[in-house]
Amino acid sequence: MIDSHAHLNDERFNEDLAEVVERAWQSGLTGIINVGYDIPSSYRALRLARENPQMHAVVGVHPHDANDVDEAALAVIQELAQEPKVVAIGETGLDYFYDHSPRDVQRSAFRLHLSLARRLDLPVVIHSRDAVADTLTIVKEYPDVRCLLHCYSGSLETAKQYVALGHFLSFAGPISFKNANRLQEVAQALPLEHVLIETDSPYLAPVPKRGKRNEPAYVLHVAQKLAELHAVSLETVMEITRKNTCSFFGIS
């Protein structure tokens, strides 16, 4: 398995990072994609990737901090993205739930990330919350950029539009929650060939770890739930999602 979206660059792992990483490998993980959410965390994601052969990095600025996306920030992201261990731009996107940055600023920053990814021929990891229409509209403006909707929580109709465009969707701990019937229906209906699995550590720990700090080892529970929903073996889900992750990010 590969955890396609983790934040081991988060300060909540400062005290026991080595133990967390060891548990990940012991659980059967063969890779972790650490995702930046601002400039400092992007640097940390790259440092982790350099120090661990089985890790890769994604660099960018989260929509919460879209106010900070200026020419200087983009220059740093572009410089970091030249590193071989950097496999995507992000996480970028739109978050109309918290609105920590003005919506027009978020949309501008999102487009700047997508434009950079197109120039560098890199895929993009997208965060989208309460911004379904605008996210899809902007993604359609960049048909040549490969996109991953991380921690997908939208409708089946929207998911099918992304799949039709050739993009991927990733599911995390919420598909294991007892009240997640609609999300489970979406995950069940989508072809596994367009699905990745993730933890979004340290957030959104799956059942039976819900309420605890999440970590990459727990992605096993996401895979188990996905296997249950598709009525296939756990090994099948592990193999298909691993191949999808390697294909999307261009890693071996």
How many domains does the chain contain in total?
1
| Average per-residue pLDDT for the chain | 98
Percent of the chain with pLDDT over 90: 100
What is the predicted pLDDT for the residue at 112?
Answer: 98
Share of residues in the chain with pLDDT > 70 (%): 100
* Residue-number span of the structural domain to which 29 is assigned: 2-249
pLDDT at res. 98: 97
Local structure of 153: helix, strand or coil:
coil
Q: Compute CA distances 13 → 18, 43, 207, whole Å.
A: 9, 16, 20
Residue 116 above 90 pLDDT? Answer: yes
The pLDDT tens digits for 12-57 are 999 999 999 999 999 999 999 999 999 999 999 999 999 999 999 9
65: confidence class by pLDDT, cuts 50, 70, 90 = very high
Q: What CATH number did the domain enclosing 25 receive?
A: 3.20.20.140
User: Is 88 in contact with 125 (CB distance < 8 Å)?
Assistant: yes
